[in-house]
Structure 1
Amino acid sequence: MQTVFLVLLLIAAVVAANAVYAKFNQVPVAFLQIGAGLLLSLIPLYRHFELEPEIFLFVIISVLMFNDGQNTSLHKLSRNIGTTMSLAVVLALITILVVGTATHLLIPQFSLALALALGAIITPTDAVAVSSITTKVAIPDRVMETLENESLFNDASGIVAFNLAIAAVVTGQFSVWHGIGNFLYVFVGGILVGLVLGYVIVAGRIMLINMRVDTPSVIVPYTLLTPFVVYFLAEAIDVSGILAVVATGLIHGIQSDRLRLTTSRLQIVMSTTWSIVASILNGIVFVLLGVSLPSVITHLRQRDTGSVAVLVGLGILLYVLMTLVRFLWLRFDLARIRAWDDHEKTRNAFVVALSGVHGTITLAMAFSLPLTLNGASFPYRNDLIFVAAVVILTSLLVPTIWLPLTLPKQVVKVTEAELANAKSEMVASAIKMMQARHGNNPTTSQVIMILEGQRVLDGRPSHTQLTELFDQTYAVERQTVDQMVAGGELTPELAERYMRVASRTRIQNQQTFWQRIGLFFRFVVVGKWSMSKKARARRKLFRQYKPRRGQTREQMMHRNRQLWGEMRSVEQKPYAAVIQFLNDHGTTDNQQAIGIVRRAYDERHRRLSGERDFQEAQNELLIEAFQLEYNFIQSQTSRKQYDPELANQLYEQISTDQLVYLQSINAD
C-alpha cells in the first residue's frame, strides 16, 4: 500500500509541474519536474525510496519507445535512413567507446566495462526534451526531423550496449568479437521479432474492428498492453525488447490508415490516452531524478568530500566531448543533412550537436543499474547516476541559453489573439443566424451556450459582474410580472409566489463558494439560519413546499404538482423577457457572465416546463449551427479576411467540437 501511495505522489508531482509549466513556460518543463521531485525528497517516506531497476525498462522505457515508434513517419524515416543509421548506430557506438575510454583514463577506479556502461547511459538523445527547450526558436525542419529519427534508434543502441557492458561488469569477462556478434544478434533479432509480433498484433486489432468489437474499453487496453507483451516475449529469447517494441510501434504507424477504420470517438480516446501516458511517464522519470539527487549526493559526500566536485567536472567534460564528436561527425559529412552551402552545413552541424539533449532514456538506464553485484552493493552506482544527472542538466541548460542566440525566433503563423478573435467572430455570426432563424426558445438557447464554449476566453467573470447581471435579470422578471398583474393575467398572490422562485434563482447564483460553505456551517453545525433578508426569503420559500401536518403522500404530491403547474403557466413571459435582455446586453467583456446567467435561467425553465426530451431537436440545431460556422469561414476566406492557416485551425476546431458535442448528447 505504501508503494502505491508513493507512486501516486510521483504522478501528482508530475501533474503539478505540468500545471505550473502551462502558466510559466519560460522554464523547460523538465526543470520544473526535477524541482517537484526535490520537494518530494523532503518527505521522510522518500528517503529510502527505490524502484526495482527492471521496472524502468519494462514499464517506462518500453511504453515510451513503442509510442515513439507508432508516431514516426515511415516515409520520412526511409527518406533519411542513411543519416539516421549513421547517427543512431555508428555514431552512438563510437561515442560510447570514446566516452568510456576517456572516463576510464580519467578515473581509473572505474573499470573499462563500467566506464562503457556510463557511455551507453549518457549517449542516447531525447527528441521530446529537445522540443521542450526549442519552442521559441525556429529549428530547421530537416534538423528536427533528423533529431527525431536519431532518438528513435540511438535509444535502442544505447540500451543494447548498456546491457552488454553490465553483463561484462557482472561476469568480469568481455570479448570484442563475442560482443560484436552478441550486439548484432540482440539488435537485429529484436527488430525481426518486433516486426513479426507487430504484424500479428495489428492483424488481431483489425480483426476486432471488422467484428465490430472496436469499443474503447477493448481497443485501448489492447493497445496499451502491446509494448509489455512484445518486450516480455523478446526478452524471453534474449533479443532486445526495446528494439522489438520500436519495430512493433513502426508497424502500427505503417498500418495507421487501416487502424483508423473505426469510430472517430475511439481515435480521439486512443490519441488522448497515449499522449497522457507518455507525458506522465516522461515526467515521472524527471521527478524521480529530483527525488533521488539529495540521497545520491549524501552518499557521495559520506564516501569522499571531493567526490561531488570531481563527478560534476567529469559530467561537464563528457558532455563537451560528446558535443564535439557530434559536430565533427556531421561537419565532415559522415551523416548528411541537405544544405545549400558550407555556412548552412556548419550551422546544421552546430544545431544538431547542441540539440543532443539527454533525457528520459538516460535517466531510466541510470536508475536501472543493478542494486547489488555478487551479493554486495553495486560499486559506483551512485556515481554513475550523479554523472548522468549532470550530463542531463548540462545538455538542457546549454541549448536553452545558446540556441536562442544563434537561431531566429519561432514565427507563429497564427497568434493566439488572432485565433481567439476569429473564433469570437465565427461564434457571434452563428449565434446571430440561429437567433434570427429560431428565436429564443430553450433548445436554441442550449445550442447557443454550446457555441459560446468555442470562444477562447481568459479567466472567469468577476463575482461583482455576475451579481449585477442577476440583479438586472431579477428586475426584468419583476417588471414583466408586474405588467402581467396590471393586465389581469396574474393574481397578486400567484405573482408573489412566482417572484419567490425568481428570488431563489438570484440568491443561489449570487452566493460565492465560501458563502455557501458558511451557510452550510451555520445550518448544520450551529443549527440555525442567519436571519438576513435574503435568508428569510429562502426559508419562506422552502416552507411553501414543506409537507403540511396530516397530509397524505398523495395529497402532498398533488399539491406540489399544482404549485409547479402554476409556476409553469407564469414563467413563459418572464423567461422570454430575461433571454431577450441578455441577448440585447451582450458585449465582448461580459460574454462569460452572460453565458452563466443564461445557463441558470435555461435550467430553471426546463425544470419548470418539464422539457427534458429535446435531444433530437438540439442535435439537429447543433448540426445546423456548425454548418453556419463552416459557411462563415468559407466566406471570410474567399474575401481574403482569413488566411488558409487560420481557416484550417478553425475548421479543425469545428470538427472536433462537432464530434465531441454530438457524441456527448447521444450518450446522454
Structure 2
Amino acid sequence: METVSIALVLLLAVVVSGTLARMSPIALPLPLFQIALGAAIASVANLGVELQPDLFFLLFLPPLLFLDGWRIPKEGLFRDKGMILELALGLVVFTVVGVGLFINWLIPSMPLAVAFALAAIVSPTDPIAVSAIAARAPIPKRLMHILEGESLLNDASGLVCMRFAVAAALTGAFSLPEAFVTFLWLAIGGIAIGTAVTWGAMKAKNWLSRHFGEDSGSQILVSLLIPFASYLLAEHLHCSGILAAVAAGITMSYAEQSGQALAVTRVRRSAVWDTVQFTANGIIFVLLGEQLPQIVAGAARVVEETGHHDPAWLVIYIVAINLALAALRLLWVWTSLRFILFKAARRGKTLAKPSWRLVVATSLAGVRGAITLAGVLTLPLAMNDGSPFPARDLAILLAAGVIIVSLVAASIGLPHLLGNLELPPEPSNQEEEDGARTAAAQAAIRAIEEAQHRMGEGRADADLYIDAGARIMELYRQRIDGRAKTGDERDLARKIDEIERKLRLAGLRAERDEIYRNARARKISDEAARKLVREIDLLEARFGPAT
C-alpha cells in the first residue's frame, strides 16, 4: 500500500510541476520545476524512497531511450554521423581523462580511480534533458539532431568507462586491451540484440495480425514490452542494455514503415507513448529533487575528507566541475569544426563558418540528466575488503549538482546565445513533401477507380458508385493541381490552403460544441457523442492547431 501511495504522490507531483511551469513568468525548463517540487516534498514528508540503481535503470531508461531512437529523424542521424560519433565516443574519453585528472587535483582526498568514475558518470549528455531545454530555447534543427544523436550513443561509452574506473578502484588494476574488447562486446552485442528483438517481435505480430486479425490494445502492449525485452536480454548476456533499447527504437521506426498496423492502432499507440514519456521524464526529475536533501546531508558529512570544514566548498566543487566540463566540450567542438572545415577546403568545398555563438551554444547544450543520476547511484557501497567505498556520498552530490547547474546554465544561456542569430539556411523538405503528397494522391485516384469499377460492376445502381468515386477523386485532383503550381501561383495556393485550414478548424469546433450541447441535453447517447467527437478530434489533429 505504501508503494502505491508513493507512486500516486509522484504522479501528482508531475502534474503539478507542469502547471507551475506554465504559470511561471520565467521561462525555465520543466525539469527544474520538477526537481524543486521533489525537494519541497522531501522537506515536508519523508516518502522513504530508496532508489535501487538496477530497478531505476530498468523502469525508466529502456522505454525513454527506445522512444528517442524510434522518433529521432534518421536522415539527420546518418547525415551527421561523423560529428555524432566524435561527440559520443571521442569527447567522452577526452572528458573522462581531462575531468578525472581535474577532479583528483581539485579534491586530492578522492582517489584517482574514483575521480575517473565520477568524470565518466557526468560525461554522457541526456536526451530527456536536451528535449526539455529545446522546448524553451530556439535550438536550430540540425544542431538539435546532433545533440539527440550524441545523447543516444554516449550513454554506453560513459557507463563503460565508469565500469572500468570502478573496477580499478576496487582491484587497483586496469587493462586497456581488456577494456577495449569489453566495449566492443557491449556495443556490438547491445545493438545486435535490440535489432533482433524488435525485428522478431514485429515479424511475429504482423503474421498473427494477417492470419487472426489485429487487436489495438495487444499491439500497443507489444510496443511497450519490446524495450524491456531488449534491455533485459542484453544485460543477461553482459551487453549494453542501453544501446539495445536505442537500437530497438531505431529498428522500430523502420519496421513501422511496413504500414501493416491499423490506423487506429497508430493513433492510440502514439497517445500512449506520449503519456509514458511525459510521466517517466517527470518522475525521474521529481525523484532527483526528493533525494537531494538526503544527498546533501550525506555529502556534508564527508566534506571534511576534502580538507575543508565549510560545506560551501561543495558549491565551489560543483561549479568548478561544470566549468571544466564546458571548457573541454567547447575545445572539442571547436577543434572538430576546424577539422571539418579543413577537410572540406582540401576537397575544394567552401563551407559556411559557424558563428562563435553557435559553437558556444553547442557546448552549453551538453545537459546532464537521468543517465548521470542513475549511473552515480550504481557506485558500490563497499570495497572488496568491506571498507566503505571512498567518497561515495560526495560523488553522488557532485553528480546531482552537475545535473542541476547544467540545466540552469543551458536554460538561461541558450536563449541569449541563439536569440536573433543568423543561421546558415537549412535544406527545405517542402519539395520532397509536395512530391510525396502528389504521388500519394495519384495512387489514391488509381485505387478509387479500380474499387468503383469492381464494386459497381453488373449492378443496377452502378451510377451511384461512379458519382461517389468522381466526387472523391476530384478532391485528390485538386490536391495534385495545387502542388503542381510554381512560383507565385504556388504561394497563392498555399495561402488559400491555410485559409481553408482555419475555416475547417472553425467548422470542426462548431460541430463538436453542438454535439456536446446535444449530449448535455440528452438528445444523443453518450456512446454516440464519444464516437462523433473522436472522429472530429482526428480530423482536427490532421489539420493541426489554429495559429
Quote the residue 1:565 is aligned against.
Answer: none
Quote the residue 1:276 is aligned against.
Answer: 275
- State the shift of 1:356 in Å: 0.8
Whether the aligned pair in 2 keeps the contact of 1:100 and 1:116 (CA below 8 Å) is yes
Distance (Å, rounded) in 1 between the aligned partners of 2:323 and 2:525: 68
From 403, 410, 413, the equivalent of 1:392 is: 403
Distance (Å, rounded) in 2 between the aligned partners of 1:356 and 1:378: 29
- State the shift of 1:197 in Å: 2.4
Quote the residue 1:362 is aligned against.
Answer: 372
Whether the aligned pair in 1 keeps the contact of 2:382 and 2:389 (CA below 8 Å) is yes
Distance (Å, rounded) in 2 between the aligned partners of 1:622 and 1:320: 51
Quote the residue 2:49 is aligned against.
Answer: 49
RMSD, aligned CA? 3.5
- State the shift of 1:60 in Å: 1.5
Distance (Å, rounded) in 2 between the aligned partners of 1:179 and 1:325: 23
Among all aligned residue pairs of Structure 1 and Structure 2, give the percentage whose two residues are the same amino acid.
Answer: 31
Question: Greater relative contact order: 1 or 2 (C-alpha under 8 angstroms, separation 6 or more)?
Answer: 2
Whether the aligned pair in 2 keeps the contact of 1:99 and 1:116 (CA below 8 Å) is yes
- State the shift of 1:352 in Å: 0.6
Q: Give TM-score, length-normalised by structure 2.
A: 0.75
Whether the aligned pair in 2 keeps the contact of 1:74 and 1:254 (CA below 8 Å) is no
Q: Give TM-score, length-normalised by structure 1.
A: 0.62
Distance (Å, rounded) in 1 between the aligned partners of 2:233 and 2:28: 40
Whether the aligned pair in 1 keeps the contact of 2:124 and 2:371 (CA below 8 Å) is yes
Quote the residue 1:86 is aligned against.
Answer: 86
- State the shift of 1:612 in Å: 5.8
3-state SS, counterpart of residue 354 of structure 2: helix
- State the shift of 1:425 in Å: 4.8
- State the shift of 1:388 in Å: 1.1
Quote the residue 1:234 is aligned against.
Answer: 234
Quote the residue 2:543 is aligned against.
Answer: 651
Return closer, same or farther for 1:409/1:56 CA change in 2, 3 Å cut-off: farther
Please list every run of 5 or more consecutive structure 1 residues that lacks an aligned counterpart in the other structure. Answer: 412-419, 432-447, 454-594, 631-647, 655-668
**What amino acid maps onto 1:450 in structure 2?**
R
Whether the aligned pair in 2 keeps the contact of 1:285 and 1:360 (CA below 8 Å) is yes
| Structure with bigger gyration radius | 1
Q: Map Cα deviations across residues 312-338 of structure 1 (whole Å, 9 max, x no partner).
A: 222222221221222222222367599
3-state SS, counterpart of residue 30 of structure 1: helix
Distance (Å, rounded) in 2 between the aligned partners of 1:173 and 1:52: 27
1:321 matches 2:383? no
Whether the aligned pair in 2 keeps the contact of 1:56 and 1:367 (CA below 8 Å) is no
Whether the aligned pair in 1 keeps the contact of 2:27 and 2:136 (CA below 8 Å) is no
Q: Map Cα deviations across residues 536-569 of structure 1 (whole Å, 9 max, x no partner).
A: xxxxxxxxxxxxxxxxxxxxxxxxxxxxxxxxxx
Quote the residue 1:196 is aligned against.
Answer: 196
**What amino acid maps onto 1:318 in structure 2?**
I
Deviates more, 1:18-27 or 1:278-287: 18-27
Return closer, same or farther for 1:265/1:409 CA change in 2, 3 Å cut-off: farther
Quote the residue 1:331 is aligned against.
Answer: 334
Quote the residue 2:296 is aligned against.
Answer: 297
1:403 matches 2:422? no
1:206 matches 2:170? no
Return closer, same or farther for 1:399/1:626 CA change in 2, 3 Å cut-off: closer
Q: Map Cα deviations across residues 30-78 of structure 1 (whole Å, 9 max, x no partner).
A: 11101111122124433x4312111122221222211211112322211
1:32 matches 2:42? no
Distance (Å, rounded) in 1 between the aligned partners of 2:382 and 2:537: 63
3-state SS, counterpart of residue 45 of structure 1: coil
Distance (Å, rounded) in 1 between the aligned partners of 2:378 and 2:406: 21
Distance (Å, rounded) in 1 between the aligned partners of 2:537 and 2:144: 37
**What amino acid maps onto 1:366 in structure 2?**
V
Distance (Å, rounded) in 1 between the aligned partners of 2:274 and 2:225: 15
**What amino acid maps onto 1:245 in structure 2?**
A
**What amino acid maps onto 1:273 in structure 2?**
V
The residue correspondences of 1:174-573 to structure 2 (distance < 5 A) are 174-258=174-258, 260-304=259-303, 306=309, 308-333=311-336, 336=340, 344-374=354-384, 375=386, 377-408=388-419, 425-426=503-504, 450-451=512-513
Distance (Å, rounded) in 2 between the aligned partners of 1:294 and 1:58: 24
Quote the residue 2:465 is aligned against.
Answer: none
Q: Map Cα deviations across residues 154-178 of structure 1 (whole Å, 9 max, x no partner).
A: 1222122222223333333222222
Quote the residue 1:102 is aligned against.
Answer: 102
Distance (Å, rounded) in 1 between the aligned partners of 2:72 and 2:387: 42
**What amino acid maps onto 2:376 in structure 1?**
A
Matched length? 458
Distance (Å, rounded) in 2 between the aligned partners of 1:114 and 1:2: 36
- State the shift of 1:261 in Å: 2.1
Whether the aligned pair in 2 keeps the contact of 1:330 and 1:336 (CA below 8 Å) is no
3-state SS, counterpart of residue 336 of structure 2: coil
3-state SS, counterpart of residue 255 of structure 1: helix
- State the shift of 1:108 in Å: 2.5
- State the shift of 1:110 in Å: 1.8
- State the shift of 1:291 in Å: 1.0
- State the shift of 1:214 in Å: 2.9
Q: Map Cα deviations across residues 415-455 of structure 1 (whole Å, 9 max, x no partner).
A: xxxxx999885465579xxxxxxxxxxxxxxxx552568xx
Distance (Å, rounded) in 1 between the aligned partners of 2:2 and 2:170: 32
Whether the aligned pair in 2 keeps the contact of 1:427 and 1:451 (CA below 8 Å) is no
Return closer, same or farther for 1:11/1:381 CA change in 2, 3 Å cut-off: farther
